[in-house]
């Protein structure tokens, strides 16, 4: 059974929640109003099959976030990420093969034979510097994709709802809104909230 959670003072009057309930009824899916908070689920370590209609008191914000996700699909971000992961996986297998077959490398560490496990350990330590570089580059690409998806949603006319939705998502996640640019560029796959809001507002400023 699914549990429907709606963070609103009067969830029974929320249009979006009603749409979800109507969908459940039409398709014969059993559901009930959630009686357990997300914090309680976290404390007990349970993740039930539930549908969380997050902050559903504003339908436009929900649609704006969906428009952002559709932007990733429309701009082929998902396909690019999939291809990039496959290429990186092939490179990892190829790199491991080179390390595994390198007698000189094993001998330099005092091994007369070439055990598979030792080869894997040597490969992991060898690629650590490259992993940091690749992770940084992937974060740069991911951040660029987020800006493009935001611009896509704004182009569809959901700039203001997306802005409000991002702020609420940030409040829900309790994450930093304005971090150091260099730190966020290296560690975060998504731009900080302040940068995203500035990018959403930028076209409006240019037209003034």
Pair (157, 89) in one structural domain = yes
- For 13, the domain range is 2-57
Pair (79, 53) in one structural domain = no
Pair (105, 6) in one structural domain = no
Q: What is the pLDDT of residue 82?
A: 92
Q: What is the pLDDT of residue 47?
A: 39
Q: What is the pLDDT of residue 194?
A: 87
Pair (97, 185) in one structural domain = yes
Pair (38, 114) in one structural domain = no
Element (H, E) at 196: helix 193-207
Which residues are part of the catalytic machinery?
69, 150
Q: What is the pLDDT of residue 26?
A: 55
Domain presence at residue 62:
no
Going from the first residue of the chain to its last (208 residues), give the mean pLDDT of each consecutive group of 10, the final group possibly shorter: 52 55 56 56 43 52 80 89 92 90 88 88 88 90 93 87 84 74 85 88 59
pTM, to two decimals: 0.65
- How far apart (Å, rounded) are the C-alpha atoms in residues 84 and 89? 9
**Signed CA dihedral, 139, 145, 148, 153: sign only:** negative
- How far apart (Å, rounded) are the C-alpha atoms in residues 34 and 103? 61
């Amino acid at each position: 059974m699914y549990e429907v959670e709606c963070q609103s003072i009067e969830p029974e009057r929320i249009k979006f929640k009603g749409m979800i309930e109507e969908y459940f009824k039409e398709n014969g899916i059993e559901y009930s109003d959630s009686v357990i908070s997300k914090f309680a689920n976290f404390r007990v370590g349970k993740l039930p099959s539930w549908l969380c209609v997050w902050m559903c008191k504003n339908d436009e914000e929900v649609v704006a976030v969906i428009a952002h996700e559709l932007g990733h699909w429309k701009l082929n971000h998902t396909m690019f990420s999939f291809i990039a992961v496959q290429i990186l996986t092939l490179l990892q297998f190829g790199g491991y093969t080179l390390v595994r077959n390198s007698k000189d490398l094993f001998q330099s560490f005092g091994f007369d034979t070439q055990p598979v496990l030792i080869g894997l350990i040597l490969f992991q330590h060898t690629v650590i510097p490259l992993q940091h570089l690749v992770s940084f580059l992937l974060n740069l690409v991911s951040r660029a994709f987020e800006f493009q998806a935001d611009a896509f949603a704004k182009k569809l006319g959901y700039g203001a709802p997306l802005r409000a939705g991002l702020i609420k998502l940030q409040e829900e996640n309790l994450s930093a809104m304005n971090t150091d640019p260099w730190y966020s560029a290296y560690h975060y796959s998504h731009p900080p909230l302040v940068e995203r809001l500035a990018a959403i507002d930028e076209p409006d400023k240019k037209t003034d």
